[in-house]
Amino acid sequence: MKKFSAFFAILILCSAAFWGFYDLMPHQVKEAKSSSDFSIENALSHLKLISEKPHAVGTIEHKKVQKYLFDELEKMDLSPSIQYQTAANNKWFAATTVENIVARIKGTDNEKALLLLSHYDSNPHSSKGASDAGSGVVTILEGVRAFLAADKQPKNDIIILFSDAEELGLLGAKAFVNHHPWAKDVGLVLNFEARGSGGPSYMLMETNGKNEKLITSFLAANPKNPAANSLMYSVYKKLPNDTDLTVFREDANINGFNFAFIGDHFDYHTDQDSYERLDRETLQHQADYLSAMLNYFSFHDLSSLDSDTDHVYVNFPVIKMIHFPFSWVLPFLIACSLLFLFLVFWGIGLSRLQLKNILVGFIPAILALVLGSLLSYFLWKLLLVVYPSYNDVLHGFTYNGYWYIGAFSFLTLSLTFFIYKPFYKKHEAINLFIAPIFIWLLINFLLLNNFTGGAFFIIPVGIALLILGIEIFKKDRRKQKTLLYAVLSVPSLYIFSPMVVLFPVGLGLKNLFISSIFIALLFGILLPVLSKEKIRKKVARLAFLSVIIFSVIATLKSDFTVDQKKPNSLVYIEDNNEAFWATYNHVLDDYTKQKLGETPKKGIIESALTKSKYNTPIRYFSDATIKNIPKSIISIVKDTVIDKNRNIRVLIHPQRKVNKYELSVLDSLTFYSAKVNGASINKDRSFTASKGSFLIYHMGNSDGNLDFSFEISNEVNPTIIVNEISYDLLKNPQFEIQPRSEKMMPMPFVTNDAIMCIQKIEL
């Protein structure tokens, strides 16, 4: 046994890391055995139909998807209806006339209702929306069918909301929460979303209060593969959240759960967000959540989910998830700190620890953290220089991103072994072990106030202190406890290994340095195992070999292919007596060069600035032949002075199919009030528009004109720029454009394949 202890220790560590990933989601698609079981096959049949083509707001396909969903709800005798409502989001300054699909299942009690939510519009203009959020729509559609087939009448009413215009600024949710009479009945929302096409679905809560009752109710519903932790919850509450569920929390103080997957992020909002590329096991994960939550919350009181206590929670081996109140965090931390000090001083007293060697141990621990993260940060910057086309993947996660995560992680691991190597010869591992424990304790103190949800970081500290105590007090110092330490380290690896991948997937590969930080932290907490000579040599060699393998594979997969399409963009712009071709790409290709040529001008067109998710500017442009595209007729139908303020009303009549209007100013302008098609842009409060866009109106299927009324100071005479944009560049007979190759696709997140006409309103 002693002969193979190193092998088994490595096997335990690797298995624990794998287990942490494996438990996050189901790994087989279940077959429905009765009509009351959720059928993935049924869900996929719906998904195939609604994701055949892009179906953004204002398109014919949008109406087709709407009719299909409406008809399916009618087949279940749910009497659906369409809510038509012009809505504006003052956070995004976006507006449209939404067409929400709503239906209701009557419960036995007249209590708060459970709302099932997902959006059915796809992102303009090329995304097929299979994952985002067709997967959520079909999960609800099939989940409700299975629930009704069980012939159980719920205690609570169940409201189904397939919201519209989520992609344009959460506008469907705005319309429902602020204008639909059913909104006041809602006690809890289950929202299904996606930011990729695969991977585990993570649970994130939305609440203005505390989370105790939400988390305990969530666990009482007994989801099969809960994937969540309270650090994500703490971070999420501090970010400018952007799901439909946010509107319910902000505008109506309604609690809810988000269930969203972010894996295969490279498909997000692209033409590749398709039926074929959606991970079936991911869909099963969403289905499992829906089934568990629907069966639980449709029968439990939803009027008392507010709490006065927050809980820390995290995935944990065997028992799925542990949780404890925030009030325990400080006592835990103090107890661990006191135990740490006791063990260190007692160890020094027993001559098991030496103060000088303890202090030396901080050198490799800090070097591993600092050098590992810096190396990852600047190495990724170098890769962007070597592969400039990576800059055109705007969300920052390339097709070979998972291979880069592996390469960078093993590189950090190899570097850490290299840093620690000379220290092993002169210092016992037990002395080197003190610095990592101290760093973990310090992190816990740093998380204490603003990110208390990260208090589960104390778990590795507790395990490390147990190992340290065994090392100090064991009588036979020659006796090896490697396997015991490996087993004790299982929870730490189980919890934190997935975080090595989570951050660069969700936030982009520019955050690979966060993965390196986690690798260095885990290494330190595993020192009693990894410092053993046989293990150290084997793992170090394996890590270095893995760096080479993952790097080679990442390099081989760096090119764009039929399955890994290159995003590119092309826009035709008319501005008075000038016309331009423009692109948002860093790297030109055959598609963009056919209009911009080999030597286009570099820079922006100031009047053509449009808002985008990542604030992406035009990179190159060149002169074009003016086509005299029919421009909207702009009429100032009212301009009066009341109490020294100008009250102005502008009507914009499109003369062609316009998808959106974007209004902007070149100098800051204060609006005392503003409405578009009757909807208040900023809840009748004044706001100042800085340079750039202040209103984006997406023309819905029921919109005819744009009616913009506002109040400004009588002392200003501003100029408002009106950009009218249509996504018909490739279909317009005035243009001859060679189509993209099969290795290309439209770039998401920007105005693309578009005709933009610019006009000015001189006031």
- For residues 56 and 152, state if they share a domain: yes
Percent of the chain predicted with pLDDT > 70: 98
- For residues 13 and 140, state if they share a domain: no
Contacts of 396 (CB under 8 A, 6+ apart): 507, 508, 509, 510
| Residue-number span of the structural domain to which 161 is assigned | 30-316
- For residues 704 and 607, state if they share a domain: no
pLDDT of residue 294: 98
Peptide bond into 133 cis (omega under 30): yes
Structure tokens at 378: 């600047």
Nearest to 134 by CA among 241, 227, 45: 45
Residue 574 is which amino acid?
E
Cα distances (angstroms) measured from residue 23 to each of 11, 31, 220, 224, 263: 18, 20, 18, 9, 15
Q: How confident is the model at residue 3 (pLDDT cuts 50, 70, 90)?
A: low
Report whether pLDDT(114) > 90: yes
Report how far residue 695's alpha carbon sits from residue 97's, in angstroms, rounded to the nearest whole number: 14
Whether the CB-CB separation of 185 and 110 falls below 8 Å is answered with no
Whether the CB-CB separation of 156 and 111 falls below 8 Å is answered with yes
Report whether pLDDT(751) > 90: yes
pLDDT per residue over 386-445, tens digit each? 999 999 999 999 999 999 999 999 999 999 999 999 998 889 999 999 999 999 999 999
CATH of residue 90: 3.40.630.10
Whether the CB-CB separation of 24 and 315 falls below 8 Å is answered with yes
pLDDT per residue over 583-603, tens digit each? 999 999 999 999 999 999 998
Q: How confident is the model at residue 476 (pLDDT cuts 50, 70, 90)?
A: low
Report how far residue 469's alpha carbon sits from residue 483's, in angstroms, rounded to the nearest whole number: 16
State mean pLDDT over 527-535: 89
Report whether pLDDT(607) > 80: no
Please give the mean pLDDT across all residues of the chain. 94
- For residues 306 and 331, state if they share a domain: no
711 falls within a domain: yes
- For residues 352 and 489, state if they share a domain: yes
321 falls within a domain: no
pLDDT of residue 35: 94
Domain end position, chosen among 316, 344, 365: 316
- For residues 16 and 39, state if they share a domain: no
pLDDT per residue over 141-193, tens digit each? 999 999 999 998 999 999 999 999 999 999 999 999 999 999 999 999 999 99
pLDDT of residue 610: 83
Q: How confident is the model at residue 711 (pLDDT cuts 50, 70, 90)?
A: very high
3-state secondary structure of 610: coil
Report whether pLDDT(678) > 80: yes
Domain end position, chosen among 316, 336, 370: 316
Nearest to 214 by CA among 173, 256, 242: 256
For the question of whether the overall pTM of this predicted structure is more than 0.75, the answer is yes
25 falls within a domain: no
Report how far residue 259's alpha carbon sits from residue 195's, in angstroms, rounded to the nearest whole number: 11
113 falls within a domain: yes
Whether the CB-CB separation of 189 and 250 falls below 8 Å is answered with no
- For residues 149 and 242, state if they share a domain: yes
510 falls within a domain: yes
Phi, psi of 760, rounded to the nearest 5 degrees: -125, 140
Whether the CB-CB separation of 483 and 12 falls below 8 Å is answered with yes
234-243, 282-291, 661-670 — which one is most confidently predicted on average?
A: 282-291
Q: How many CB atoms sit inside 10 A of residue 578's CB? A: 13
- For residues 591 and 549, state if they share a domain: no
Q: Of 523 and 613, which is predicted with more confidence? A: 523
Report how far residue 566's alpha carbon sits from residue 543's, in angstroms, rounded to the nearest whole number: 32
For 70-74, 331-335, 349-353, which range has the lowest pLDDT when averaged over its residues?
A: 349-353
Whether the CB-CB separation of 97 and 703 falls below 8 Å is answered with yes
pLDDT of residue 239: 65
State mean pLDDT over 440-464: 95
- For residues 261 and 356, state if they share a domain: no
pLDDT per residue over 118-148, tens digit each? 999 999 989 999 999 999 999 999 999 999 9
pLDDT of residue 1: 55
Nearest to 364 by CA among 404, 421, 311: 421
pLDDT of residue 644: 87
- For residues 170 and 48, state if they share a domain: yes
Domain end position, chosen among 534, 556, 578: 556
Report whether pLDDT(477) > 70: no
pLDDT of residue 683: 77
pLDDT of residue 267: 96
pLDDT per residue over 356-369, tens digit each? 999 999 999 999 99
For 126-165, give the DSSP string. T---IIIIIIHHHHHHHHHHHHHHTT---SS-EEEEEES-
3-state secondary structure of 402: helix
Q: How confident is the model at residue 631 (pLDDT cuts 50, 70, 90)?
A: very high
For 242-256, 601-615, 741-755, which range has the lowest pLDDT when averaged over its residues?
A: 601-615
- For residues 593 and 691, state if they share a domain: no
148 falls within a domain: yes
Task: Give how many domains the chain has, as a whole number.
Answer: 4
590 falls within a domain: yes
| Region label for 485, one of left (φ > 0), alpha (ψ between -120 and 50) or beta (otherwise) | alpha
- For residues 333 and 469, state if they share a domain: yes
Report how far residue 205's alpha carbon sits from residue 232's, in angstroms, rounded to the nearest whole number: 10
561 falls within a domain: no
